[in-house]
Amino acid sequence: MTALTSQVQMVPEDPVWQLQCFQVIQQEREGTWRLADGRRVKQAVSCLVTPQVGDHVLVAMAQNGSQTGADSFIVHILQRERCDSVQLNVPGAIQVQWQQEQIALLAKSKLTLFAAQQVDLGSLEQLLIQGKHQVYTAWETAVSHVQHFVQQVDSYTLTAKHLLKLHGEYQLLTADKEIKADADRIMMG
């Protein structure tokens, strides 16, 4: 890759920064990479795409020319041989927030949201989840509290291994054709 060199100085007391293109040859440890010239660099906070070995990157270096990486940062990924998967990361951040009037995440085939401990999904107004096929799984407990609950299905089967309890101040059980009650013992009243 051809060398691109530029110098920037923000204010007189700041060091002069030089921009230059390099290739990443090794990941040293979390957040530190080695370049083709042997220099160690860190990922700048503004560089959201995590560098990979083989990437051609734009590096900002303080004029002192430190080889330790303390004053050298990858600020941009310029070229990647294979871009099948990209990891976004903000170095040193525990939480990332994206605030905008509207945000759309669009995937052509699959969208995965996963967390090792908890996923929160909520809305102050309306929460709409649509899909031709939907599967929900809770391993221990599922609790719902709603003011009005309406379901319309072609067939509905509900099975409880031990106890099935329905309670309300008033209950109405109707059928267009037939109601059956079948048990070893039926108690009413």
Instruction: Pull the structure tokens for residue 30.
Output: 């979390």
CB under 8 Å to 51, separation ≥6 — which residues?
24, 27, 33, 43, 57, 74, 77
Residue for token pair 């083989």: 54
Domain boundaries of the chain, sorted by first residue: 6-79
CA 25, distance to chain mean position in Å, is: 28
Per-residue b or e along 60-69, where b marks 16 or more CB atoms closer than 10 Å to that residue's CB: bbeeeeeeeb
pLDDT band, residue 175 (cuts 50/70/90): very high
The top-level CATH class assigned to 6-79 is mainly beta
pLDDT confidence tier of residue 68, bands split at 50, 70 and 90: low
β-strands 56-62, 6-8 pairing: unpaired
**Does residue 84 have a pLDDT over 60?**
yes
The DSSP call for residue 57 is E
